[in-house]
Amino acid sequence: MTWYRNAGTRLLLNSRVSISSEPLSSNKQSSKEPQREPISPYSQAANRTNRIISLFRGLYAKPSSAIGTTIFLIFLTVALFGPLIAPYGVNEQIAADARQPPSLQHWFGTDNLGRDVFTRVVIGARDILALAGLGTLLAVVCGTAFGLLSGYMGAWFDEGLMRLFDSLLAMPALLLSLLLLGILGPSRSSVLIVIVIVYTPIVARVVRSVVLSVKTRGFVEASRLQGESIPYILFREILPSTLPALTVESALRFSYAIFLVASLGFLGVGVQPPNPDWGLMVKEARVHVFQIPWAMYFPAGAIALVVIGVNLMSDGIKRVWQKSG
């Protein structure tokens, strides 16, 4: 409930206060002296860190987003420190231990080739989070640029670009990816390109809609009257206003990108064996599902958990941003 209290203290600023609520006698003590927010030249930078801190506070204020954020942070740690955590080599085959159920030696068991499933899931997290993360980041950058330009310029430029994006959006994401991978050939960089192409139009549309509402506001018009250049107006005046919507959209795109990478792996057109890709692991273990089900359940569970975690987190971000306006 911390962020509620923040909203409360903001209301209490500036003056002597009379509060009529019973449980808050503590506020009355400080109410005699006029309070003012500390103002310094650094307040802008301070603002920014404050905003990140308050975002996390907000996320941990509700159980659903707290769980989501925790899940995401755990997977992020696992991805970052993967090699330190993993007990075995990724492709290390211990023939004697093949097809072992989960045990103390092999937490998630071993697959039919005697590889440790836990190790492969841990190392696989690096791959999938990096691919999905980098892909989303590039898509967000491209989408923001296109969305800003398209929304601000309007007229034929907007019309042309949006029709192109519409035609990309008309195709189901997976079908479009398969088509593109068919052309590019399966590899990590191809998957990256696919994510960028599939998600850029969506991000661009979100940014464009914000730009359309912001560009008629007084501050944008005032900067036009000051003779500001288009890049200045786009990036200094308009871009900050798109950030709340953009953050929420990026988090959502990220969860879908994880899903997409896993799906492509499963279909065998994404990351190639023997890399420990989660989707690929599910595909390989699918054949032996009745003999060694753990080899399939653990990577599949990891996919589900990350996607759910990121989704819950993005819901939380949305809630927090909307609360703070």
| Contacting residues toward other proteins, per CB under 8 A | 1, 4-5, 7-8, 11-21, 23-24, 37, 39-41, 43-44, 47, 217-219, 221-228, 236-237, 240-241, 325
Q: With respect to other proteins, which residue has the nearer C-beta, 187 or 241? A: 241
Rounded least distance, CB 241 to other proteins, Å: 7
Q: With respect to other proteins, which residue has the nearer C-beta, 12 or 130? A: 12
Distance CA 303, CA 279 (A): 8
Distance CA 117, CA 101 (A): 10
Q: With respect to other proteins, which residue has the nearer C-beta, 4 or 81? A: 4
CB 234 within 8 A of CB 148: yes
Q: With respect to other proteins, which residue has the nearer C-beta, 46 or 80? A: 46
Rounded least distance, CB 37 to other proteins, Å: 6
Q: With respect to other proteins, which residue has the nearer C-beta, 1 or 104? A: 1
Rounded least distance, CB 243 to other proteins, Å: 8
Structure tokens at 264: 């492509």
Structure tokens at 285: 């273990």
**DSSP 8-class letter at 325:** -
Distance CA 210, CA 208 (A): 5
Structure tokens at 231: 């890049």
Distance CA 12, CA 228 (A): 38
Q: With respect to other proteins, which residue has the nearer C-beta, 36 or 96? A: 36
Rounded least distance, CB 220 to other proteins, Å: 8
Rounded least distance, CB 148 to other proteins, Å: 15
Q: With respect to other proteins, which residue has the nearer C-beta, 213 or 291? A: 213
Structure tokens at 227: 């003779």
Rounded least distance, CB 235 to other proteins, Å: 12
Q: With respect to other proteins, which residue has the nearer C-beta, 80 or 222? A: 222
**DSSP 8-class letter at 96:** G
CB 147 within 8 A of CB 214: no
Q: Which residues contact 50 (CB under 8 A, 6 or more apart)?
A: none
Q: Which candidate, 259, 312, 311, places its Cα nearest to that of 65?
A: 312
Cα within 13 Å of Cα(47), Cβ side: 7
Dihedral of CA 228/42/73/80: which sign?
positive
Total length of the chain:
325
C-alpha torsion 253→315→158→241, nearest 10? -120
Rounded least distance, CB 14 to other proteins, Å: 6
